[in-house]
Amino acid sequence: MICYFDTSALVKLYVEEEGSELVADYSRKGLFIATSRVAYAEARSVFARASREGILDVQAYRDVVANFNEEWPSYFALEVSDTVLQRVDTLVDKYPLRGFDALHLASTIILSRQLDGEDLPVACWDARLWDYYLQEGFSLIPGDRPAK
């Protein structure tokens, strides 16, 4: 089974926060985790910010980055292709999306179509993006709208 993790879900595998246990449970189930290539830049930015803000100490930051870099090749990272960008054009006219959120949503829609009807659950803790995934018909993790 494939599950799409946006960046808000992916970082929960590395930084303990609300939802981390649920994401870890799905990860342990042997799911094939898909994401967009933009998640790499977003996640690294989140880790660096957590370090600057004192959420991660120096050693924890180094460990998180090392673990993330080691595991990144195991994720199915979708390219920001022309097909994805064409889908972005449609989505930004339909929803008030931020740039990387538009790339995540477009990537998920393209992947879902390639799966030819197979369910593609999406893990997302960004409340606004969660709403748009719901409007596009995806089953979501968590099942209830995140607080932020």
| Cα separation, 117 vs 20, whole angstroms | 28
**Phi and psi (nearest 5°) for 43?**
-65, -45
- What is the fold, at CATH topology level, of the domain defined by 2-141? Rossmann fold (3.40.50)
How do residues 3-52 score in pLDDT, each as one tens digit?
999 999 999 999 999 999 999 998 888 678 999 999 999 999 999 999 99
Higher-confidence position of 77 and 147: 77
DSSP state of 145: P
Which pTM was predicted?
Answer: 0.93
Domain extent listing, the chain: 2-141
Q: Which residues pair with 2 in a beta bridge?
A: 32
**Which pLDDT tens digit goes with each residue over 70-100?**
999 999 999 999 999 999 999 999 999 999 9
pLDDT band (50, 70, 90) for residue 122? very high
41 phi and psi, to 5 degrees?
A: -65, -40
Residue 29: partners with Cβ closer than 8 Å, 6 or more residues away? 1
Q: What is the side-by-side order of every strand in the sheet holding 140-141? A: 76-78, 32-36, 2-5, 122-123, 140-141
